Amino acid sequence: MLDDILSKYKSGFSDFTLLRGQHKSILRTQYSTEKGQTVMMKYGDEENSRGVCATVFANGAYGFMALPRYNDAAVQYVLKKAKENALQLAALQKNPLPPVPETENGSIMRDMDYRFLTQHQVCKFATELGKYAESKKPGVKVEISVLQDATEKLLIVSNGYDYHNIENLPGISVQLKMDDCSISKEIHPSKRSLCSIAEDPAEVYALIDKLVEELAEKKAEDEDAIYAEGGEWDCVLSPEFVSLLAHEAVGHTMEADAVLQKGSVGLEYMGKQVASPLVSLTDFHSKVCGGIDGRLDIPVDDEGVKCIDAPLIKDGILCGALTDRRTAAALGMPMTGNARASQYCDTTIIRMRNTCFHPGTSKFEDMIAAIDKGYYLKKMGGGNGSLKGEFRMTAMELYEIRGGQLGRKVKPTSVAGIAWDALKTVDMVGAEFSGGEMCGTCGKDDQGIHTAEGGAAFKMRLKIAGR
C-alpha cells in the first residue's frame, strides 16, 4: 500500500501541478505438461515498480520528472525538477502552449483492502489447476498461465480530482492440446482478486470441464475442415470479432491524439455516417451497456479529470473522440478522462477503457438463417488496424453457412477491410451483449496498459481470404 505522503504538498502548488505515486506489481507463472509428463514449471516473473512523478505547467510549457523511490525526498526532488524542466522548455519554445484547461475539483479516495498471493502461492494455484485438467482427460497436454496484476495509484492535482485506487486484474489462461488439435480460453474475472479465485476456483474448474468436452469435438471437426472460398461474403461475427473491431479499427482511430495527426480520418468523418444506423459504439469508464460492470472501473483519469462515458458512434454517425485536457481544448470537445499512464515513470497518453458496441434486437439463429451463402466467424487469433480505419484479423475458428444453416468447419484464414465501409453493411445486430469478450494489454507507444472491449454479434459483409 502507498502511504499518503503527497497531499501535504498540495498547498505549495503555485502552477498547474500533478503529483502521482504508483506501485505496480505483476506475478505470472505457467504450468505445462509435455508428452504426457510434467515438466519444469516456469516459476514466475515478478515485476515490481514503485515511484513518484510530477508534471508542472509553467510559462507555457510542461515539465516532467520521475524517480524510482517513494519518500519525501523523492517527492521534493521531482517537484523541483519538473518545474525547472518546464521553465527550460519554455525558454526554448517560440510559441507557448495555451493554459491547462480547468475542470471540476473533488476527491475520490477509495479505502483499499486487497489481499494478494505470494509468488509461491500463485505457482501452487497454477499447479493445482494443471493437475485437475490432467485428471479430466488422460494424455492431454495442459498449459495453465496464471497472472496477478495490480496497480495502485495516488494522485494529487492542483486542479481536478485527487484520487486513490488499486486496479486489481487477475487473468487465467487454459490451453489443452491433443495431437495437432488445441483449444484455449482466457478468463478475466471482474471484481475478484486472484486470492478469492484461488479460495473458490469453481469458475475455473467449470471452464476446464467445458474445454475438455470441446476438445474432442474440435478434433473431429478439424479433420474434416475445408478451405474458405475467397471473396466478399455475408458473415456473422461473434462478439469476440466485433470487440476487435471496436478496439483496432475504430477506437485507436478516435483517440484524440490520433485524430489530430496528419493522415487520420477522424476529423474528416466527424459528424458523418460511418456505419449502419444499427451501430453505436461507446467507450465506457465503468458500467457498460445495460448497467453491467465493465472489466475496468476508472472514475478518475491520471490527469485528475473525472471520467465520463465517451460515445464514438451514435446510430451510425461518428460523434466523438477520446480526449485528455489538451486535446479536448484543441478539438472543442468535452474532457472524457482518457489520459492514462502505465508506470510511474510514464507521462499520460490517451487510452481506451471499456470500448463496446451496443447490442441490438436480433437473435443469433435468425442472423444465421438470413444468410444463403457465407461464413460464421466464431474465434479470432489476433488482428490490427490503422488510423485510417483499415483492419486485418485472423479467423481461427469459423464455419460455412449454407441455406441459412451452419455447415462444415473452415480452416483458419484472414479477413480484412476498412471499418467505415464494412460497418455500413451491418444489417443485423445481436441482442446478446458481452461486456468483456476481449480483455488484455494494449501496447500503444510502448506503454502496456489494460483495456477491455465488448459488443454483440454483427451480420455484415466482409472480405475473406481463400486458399
In angstroms, rounded to a whole number, what is the distance separating the alpha carbons of residues 433 and 455?
6
Which range has the worst mean pLDDT, 310-314, 389-393, 434-438?
A: 434-438
CATH of domain 7-223: 3.30.2290
Query: Contact 282/292 with Cβ under 8 angstroms?
Result: no
Please state the pTM of the whole predicted model.
Answer: 0.94
Q: Does position 438 have pLDDT exceeding 90, yes or no?
A: no
Find the length of the chain: 467
Task: Give per-residue pLDDT as tens, 388-431.
Answer: 889 999 999 999 999 999 999 999 999 999 999 999 999 999 99
- Report whether pLDDT(7) > 70: yes
Please report, for residues 175, 178, 360, the alpha-carbon distance to residue 182 in angstroms, rounded to integers and kept in the order given.
Answer: 7, 6, 33
pLDDT on residue 397: 93
Q: How far apart are the first and last CA of the chain?
A: 55
Interval 24-44: pLDDT, tens: 988 888 899 875 555 555 666
Ordered by start, the domain boundaries in the chain are 7-223, 231-464
